[in-house]
Amino acid sequence: MSTFSIVLLVILIVLIIACIVLYFLGKKAEKRQAEQQKQLEAAAQTISMLIIDKGRLRLKEAGLPSIVIENTPKYLRRSKVPVVKAKIGPKIMTLMCDADIYPLIPVKKEVKATVSGIYITAVRGLRGPLETPQKKKGFLARMRDKARTASQK
């Protein structure tokens, strides 16, 4: 056996071990996420609120309670999170929002939202359905449209 084949064999073994480790870590993370989702659903309550403002801000800039910032891992503290400022009853609160429903939240309108702690998990329109924003076209789709309009002229 040549040295080249030995090196390839060692690299292959290391890659197989790495894949096995990642598989088990992924399974563990999946179980943890399912458990956290159950906890969110257990603490969820439906509240009507007036959305004042929304934006993607860093945790420190968002005005969230200090305990939230302390419990966040250090590597995630500088990342931007979707934040919603809403009037719930007489109080104005700053809430975090699920990234999937963030585009659906209308500004300066009243909505019924499912809230778990300071985390908005779902949102419905109070007076009718919410407007869904149009998806942005990808680069290739824009180029195809340009080509079609150019060929029609």
Each of the 153 residues of the chain gets a pLDDT tens digit; together they read 788 899 999 999 999 999 999 999 999 999 999 998 898 888 889 999 999 999 998 888 888 888 888 888 888 888 899 999 999 989 999 999 988 899 889 888 899 999 988 889 889 887 777 777 777 888 888 899 999 998 887
> What integer pLDDT is reported at residue 13 of this predicted model?
96
Residue with tokens 């919603």: 84
Looking at this protein, which amino acid is placed at residue 83?
V
Asked if residue 76 lies in contact with residue 98, where contact means CB atoms within 8 angstroms, the answer is: no
Among the listed residues 125, 128, 132, the one whose alpha carbon sits nearest the alpha carbon of residue 111: 125
> What integer pLDDT is reported at residue 84 of this predicted model?
93
Q: Is 142 exposed, middle or buried (0-12, 13-18, 19+ CB in 10 A)?
A: exposed
- Strand, helix or coil at 144? helix
Question: Which tokens go with 124?
Answer: 């419905």
> What integer pLDDT is reported at residue 137 of this predicted model?
82
Q: In terms of DSSP bridges, do strands 110-116 and 119-125 run parallel, antiparallel, or are they unpaired?
A: antiparallel
Asked if residue 44 lies in contact with residue 121, where contact means CB atoms within 8 angstroms, the answer is: yes
Residue 76 DSSP label = G
Strand partners for 56: 82
> What integer pLDDT is reported at residue 8 of this predicted model?
94
Rounded to whole angstroms, how far apart are CA atoms 58 and 54? 13
